[in-house]
Amino acid sequence: DHIGHAKSLALRTGKPIWMSRGTALASQLMDWGLSQAQCQMASDGQVFEVGSLQITPFTVPHDAREPLQLRCTDGSHHLGILTDLGHGSAHVVQALQHCHALLLECNHDRELLAHSAYPPFLKKRIAGPQGHLSNEESAALAKALVHPQLNLIVAAHLSERNNRPELAQDLLAQATGCSANDIPVADPVNGTPWHVVH
């Protein structure tokens, strides 16, 4: 469900897109009408380049077809992008070591999810080890990734029904030793303002 605009972007611009084989099969990539050169396969740990950026995809525990998240670098600075996963596995922690900035899923507050109107099966899926990170799980992952050069964490993929920005910000701030005001929250429509990463 998160690749909906990839097809229109690729068709409109002629630019290549990268996805795992599992995602390509599930999305029927070969039926999109793209050229062979536009259909690029990505896999765990296999670096590819987009302009001046090196992108390293890594597998994550999530109930999708071969999901990948990304580590991006310009050679000097490293950004980790992590928006859909059920738990912070050892592989995820290893893939994101020494990042200067993180875009980190903070999908739900456990109490809000537990008392939400969602049906039990959906609550179980979201909170499960292949679902989405709770604020507490995100904070624990952030704590495992803290190092002196990490200077930006953006809270992302917050549920509109089962989370509130201040809940995610407070837990991330406690885990990383910064102020909640230093944790921007990505808006699902507008993203975030530009941030300079040192």
Question: Which regions of the chain carry the CATH code 3.60.15.10?
Answer: 45-182
Amino acid at 122: L
Query: What burial class does residue 51 get, using C-beta atoms within 10 Å of its C-beta: 0-12 exposed, 13-18 middle, 19+ buried?
Result: exposed
Q: Considering the domain 45-182 in this protein, what is its CATH number?
A: 3.60.15.10
Average pLDDT over residues 61-74: 96
Q: Give residue 3's pLDDT band: very low, low, confident or very high (50, 70, 90).
A: confident
Mean pLDDT to the nearest integer, 68-93: 97
The per-residue pLDDT for range 101-127, each reduced to its tens digit, is 999 999 999 999 999 999 999 999 999
pTM: 0.93
Position 180 pLDDT exceeds 70: yes
What does the pLDDT look like over 117-164, one tens digit per residue?
Answer: 999 999 999 999 999 999 999 999 999 999 999 999 999 999 999 999
User: Which uninterrupted H or E stretch holds 78?
Assistant: strand 78-82
Q: Is the pLDDT of residue 47 over 90?
A: yes
Strands, DSSP E only, in the chain? 17-19, 39-41, 48-50, 53-59, 68-73, 78-82, 101-105, 152-156
Instruction: Give the rounded distance of the alpha carbon of 134 from its chain centre.
Output: 13
